[in-house]
């Protein structure tokens, strides 16, 4: 069953990632950033998120990266691409140049949209 159709419950591991029932989080690390992004795109398509708009290329994805080393700003801003119900984030550690963090959010959760945009925590 695809992730979108059957979201993992809290504490459940799925395909190398973990879920708290609201957010599923996993990490992709290919031989380079392009390979990692291609893995993310393939995973999303296989898990039922093929209709979510994504940057066409890894170069386009990199345009969403915050260009700051200030860790305080990174606490309040998502460092990457955000489009409900997914976030493709760059790690705070700039040395991990080939790593992408994928966060997928449970669209069936109460007040999903408010929680996704951090208006309601």
Question: Which pLDDT value is given to residue 76?
Answer: 62
49 near 103, Cβ under 8 Å?
A: no
Q: Does the pTM of the predicted model rise above 0.85?
A: yes
Q: What is the pLDDT of residue 67?
A: 75
Q: What is the pLDDT of residue 75?
A: 59
Between CA 28 and CA 104 the distance in angstroms is 13
Q: What is the pLDDT of residue 66?
A: 83
- Give average pLDDT by consecutive 10-residue segment, the chain, 121 residues: 91 93 96 97 97 97 82 69 96 85 96 88 69
User: Could you give the 3-state DSSP secondary structure of residue 116?
Assistant: helix
Angle formed at CA 19 by CA 63 and CA 58, multiple of 5 degrees:
20
Instruction: Label each residue of 73-89 as H, E or C.
Output: HHHHCCCEEEECCEEEE
């Amino acid at each position: 069953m695809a992730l979108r159709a059957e979201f993992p419950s809290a504490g459940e591991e799925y395909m190398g990632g973990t879920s708290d029932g609201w957010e599923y989080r996993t990490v992709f690390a290919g031989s380079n950033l392009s390979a990692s992004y291609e893995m993310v795109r393939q995973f999303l398509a296989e898990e039922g998120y093929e209709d979510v708009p994504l940057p066409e290329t890894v170069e386009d994805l990199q345009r969403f990266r915050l260009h700051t080393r200030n860790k305080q700003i990174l606490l309040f801003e998502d460092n990457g691409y955000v489009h409900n119900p997914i976030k493709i984030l760059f790690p705070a550690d700039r040395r991990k140049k080939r790593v992408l963090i994928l966060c997928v959010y449970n669209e069936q959760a109460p007040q999903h949209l408010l929680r996704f945009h951090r208006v309601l925590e």
